[in-house]
Structure 1
Amino acid sequence: MKLLKAVILMLGLTGMVAGRLSKNGDRMCVYRVLSRGDALFCKGNLHVIYPEIGDVDCMYIPECNNFRRKISIWDKPSIKYSLASENKKYILVMVDPDAPSRNYPKNRYWRHWLIANISGASLKTGNIRGDELTGSWSISDFIKHFHLGTSVASSQFLTQNYHDF
């Protein structure tokens, strides 16, 4: 079963190429972009970067080098948004829209990471600083409650839960 993770960047009130082969460790990795249906969140040139794998923006996490297991234990990724306005504040939300699995999404939109009050300048560099929040929640209720409007950039990537059979 596959897990889908979405990263959404919102304007608050207050690469890799498909088919590219990359040598990492002992195995060749094939990077594939998400299918049209899975790429619904992808817009606005938002980059989600893990040190060992690179930019996972709108792609499947490759099966090579145990990346699908490692991504569940790695530290937070670097997030870059080159179109950020330096004088504005942003909110970063990383959710799993079909947790714990696509076949049983009882924890839909599980929040992995939420940071508020991020300066546009820090988003441009990928050095995210802000107020980090935790817990499960409803993303649509959060957007409505704080009158956040529409997202300005978003991305998602797909991986497989290595515990699923």
Structure 2
Amino acid sequence: MLEKRTGRMKVQVAVLLAMGLVGIAAWKSKTLQHSEFMETCDFEKLDGPDSEFCQGDLQVFYPELGDIGCTYIPKCHQYRKRITKEWRNPEIKYPQAEKNKNYVLIMADPDAPSRSEPKFRFWRHWLVIDIKGSDLRAGRLKGHVLTDYVRPTPPSRSGYHRYQFRLYEQPAYEAISLSPEEAASLGSWPLERFVEQFRLGSPVASTQFLTQHHND
């Protein structure tokens, strides 16, 4: 009889011990998740020549990040991974746009495949024409899309890439298009020649952000 009671007590102790271990594991998991959520995120502003590219008040909004103009995308909260794999095109806003004019938006990476060896510059990530100024002022990017939005995808170990946004005033009655060769490839795009061909002139506003591969 004593042996049976001893056996039952051992089983009860083992069950309680297992429950305690499960509780500790759950507590650690919740604590880890909480610490990750509470992790501070520093949004470092660009400086030097990189900051000089940012002209005017062109605003680029991604979820949770707000306006990322002239900043490094921080690694915390998996922001670099999410901008590459999850988030769709950002909201574009230009409060100074003239309501009765049309605009052209270009997003391009001049650092493909790397800033030290940009043999595929410019990599075209987005090209939209016929954007009404009234829509830009309201943050609604409507127009004729010549190149669908392509998420930033800097290769591993290629360092920081600049993702640049240029906004041009579109000349009246100018029929803007990509040649068949340009449309067939996103890389090695002659951006300057495109701008000159369609008489776009200098950007009325421009901004950029820098990011790198999310595992680097």
- So what's the TM-score if we normalise by structure 1? 0.80
Alpha carbons of structure 1 residues 103 and 162: separation in structure 2 relative to 1, 3 Å: farther
Deviation of the 1:150 alpha carbon: 1.0
CA deviation vs aligned residue, 1:29-85 (integer Å, no higher than 9, x gap): 101111212123200111010012111011111121111121112200000000000
Q: Which structure shows the higher helix fraction?
A: 2
Question: 1:127: how far off?
Answer: 0.8
Residue 145 of structure 1 aligns with which residue? 197
Q: 1:125 to 1:96 in 2, by over 3 A?
A: same
Aligned with 2:213 (options 147, 161, 165):
161
CA shift, 1:26, in A, is 3.7
1:128 matched residue in structure 2? 141
> Are 1:44 and 2:56 matched, yes or no?
yes
Larger Rg: 1 or 2? Answer: 2
Partner of 2:39: 27
Equivalent pairs, count: 141
1:147 counterpart letter in structure 2: R
Amino acid at match of 1:37: P
Cα distance in structure 2, aligned partners of 1:35 and 1:156: 12
Ranked by relative contact order (alpha carbons within 8 Å, sequence separation 6 or more), the top structure is 1
1:103 deviates by 2.5
Q: Partners in 2 of 1:122 and 1:25 — Cα distance?
A: 35
- Structure 2 distance, partners of 1:146, 1:25, is 48
8 Å Cα contact 2:55/2:206 also seen in 1: yes
Does structure 2 retain, via aligned residues, the 8 Å contact 1:89–1:117? Answer: yes
Cα separation, 2, equivalents of 1:25 and 1:87: 45
Amino acid at match of 1:131: H
Unaligned runs of 5+ in 2: 1-35, 148-182
2:132 alignment counterpart: 119
- Distance of 2:139 and 2:114 partners within structure 1: 29
Equivalent in the alignment of 1:59: 71
Answer yes or no: is the 8 Å Cα contact 2:112–2:119 preserved in 1: yes
Q: Which residue of 1 aligns with 2:84?
A: 72
Structure 1 stretches of at least 4 aligned residues deviating more than 4 Å after TM superposition: none
Q: Structure 1 stretch 129-138 or stretch 108-117: which is displaced more?
A: 129-138
Q: Any gaps of 5 or more consecutive residues in structure 1?
A: 1-23
CA contact (8 A) 2:61 2:68 kept: yes
CA offset at residue 119 of structure 1? 0.3
% identical aligned pairs: 47
Mapped contact 1:85–1:120 kept (Cα < 8 A)? yes
| Conserved 8 A contact 1:26-1:65 | no
